[in-house]
A and B are shown apart, each in its own frame.
Chain A
Amino acid sequence: MNVERHRLVIVGGGPAGYTAALYAARANLNPLCIEGYSAGGVLMTTGVVENYPGFADGVSGPDLMSALRQQVERFGTVLLAKDVKEIDLDTWPFRLTLAGLVIEADAVIVSTGATAKRLGLPSEDALEGYGVAYCVACDGAFFEGKRVAVVGGGDSAMDQAMALAKIAREVVVVHRREDFRATEIMVEYARAHENVSFLRPYTVQDIVGQDERRVTGLRLRQERTGSEHVEPFDGVFVSIGHHPATELFQPFLDHDDKGYLWVAPGSTMTSVDGVFAAGDVHDHVYRQVVTAAGSGCMAALDAERWLGRRGGWTAGKAAAADSILARGRQGAVARA
């Protein structure tokens, strides 16, 4: 098997990974960004992003990722559209195994982002692609003139409901609580569509289907009364949030019970020296595109300094930065 050696490997190609690659490439670290088969991350199935600074009219998730990817390529980052199959962070250099290739890395930035949560019902697995869907841009057209449910109560659920409202006859947002987690403006946008309605507080007990080839409805439980009924639907779009995509790294890196990686306060350093985490893999509070991008920047700067301290080729640069910082601290002390 081919073995390649790289100074800095970034695993994941969302806003955090691409921004880390951008900063690392501009620092002449020649990073390798393993963006994976799902490059672009969650944003690739997001409609309009209205809260990323600099876009007065909003920007589509895929367009934003495409622009960021082009920017990253411009500065010479090598992008690899493959998935990492195995990783070993107990040895150094760190080892990452891909199909037909082993990569050794002096430093690693983990930015694998988040993946969509599933309801966890056996019927969901059986009927995925047969009426159970996760992406309106991909699957919305199949539900033209039909009655569909969107399960969830966050901004993503509202985004999906509005996109579906243009295609489906009726869209029902099913949410387990009275209050939405979505921002008020998104709920108001959704409410303004005549064919969008809300069912709450209802939890999905089962997805009802025919011959495992067609969704016919949802078995719902009214959370106040405990009563259950089957509500007829032709399809269901699941939009109940995301969880960190860290399974591969959990055996090596400290993490909480939900899989979020631990990082040292105020930095992106994980529990393993030389491994950094950026974006949704460690952020369980903000989880925004702009915070993921900012976190990617931090990880690249942390990695650059770490590589410099190890006596690598950026040693001179890191020493200079340390010296500037030290002078700044002395200045601050003197001023105090």
Chain B
Amino acid sequence: MRKPIVLYSATGCPLCARYRALFDEEGHPFEERNTTEEPTYREELAGLGIMATPAVLVGDRAVPGYRPNTVIELLAS
């Protein structure tokens, strides 16, 4: 079963766009939470101590920043 992915993004964040492209290319569905449009998403991240976008939740694992290889490894594990 595929692990759910949540992408926390920001408007104008180029590395968030790269994650979008990566998930689309790999065929992984994901839920995007734009912290610029909805500041409560920023608070969700802050609740995890994360002060960065992109940040990705793979299942219950949080990956702050742009670390595609880490995310790919988590998805494959």
Interface residues of A (CB under 8 A from B): 37-40, 44-45, 62, 81-83, 99, 128-131, 133-135, 137-139, 141-143, 213-214, 235
Contacts and interface: CB of A to CB of B under 8 A. Distances in A.
B35 A141 contact: yes
B15 A81 contact: no
Given A44-B14, A133-B52, 13 more contacts: A38-B15, A81-B21, A82-B25, A99-B72, A128-B52, A130-B50, A138-B10, A138-B13, A138-B52, A139-B51, A142-B51, A142-B52, A143-B51
Nearest to A138: B13
A129 B22 contact: no
A45 B21 CA distance: 17
A82 B54 CA distance: 18
A39 B18 contact: yes
Given A137-B12, A138-B10, A214-B49, A128 B64 contact: yes
A275 B60 CA distance: 44
Contacts of A99: 72
Contacts of B16: 138
Given A129-B64, A130-B49, A133-B51, A45 B36 contact: no
How many residues of B sit at the interface, in one of the four size bands? 20 to 34
Contacts of B55: 129
B22 A81 contact: yes
Interface of B: 10, 12-16, 18, 21-22, 25, 35-36, 42, 45-46, 49-55, 64-66, 68-69, 72
A142 B68 contact: no
Contacts of B66: 38
Contact of A37 (B22, B49, B53): B22
B52 A37 contact: no
A130 B14 contact: no
A99 B68 CA distance: 13
Please provide the 7 A-B residue pairs with the shortest distance between their CB atoms, ordered closest to farther.
A129-B64, A213-B49, A44-B14, A142-B51, A129-B52, A138-B13, A37-B68
A141 B36 contact: yes
A129 B50 CA distance: 6
B42 A142 contact: yes
B42 A141 contact: yes
Nearest to B68: A37
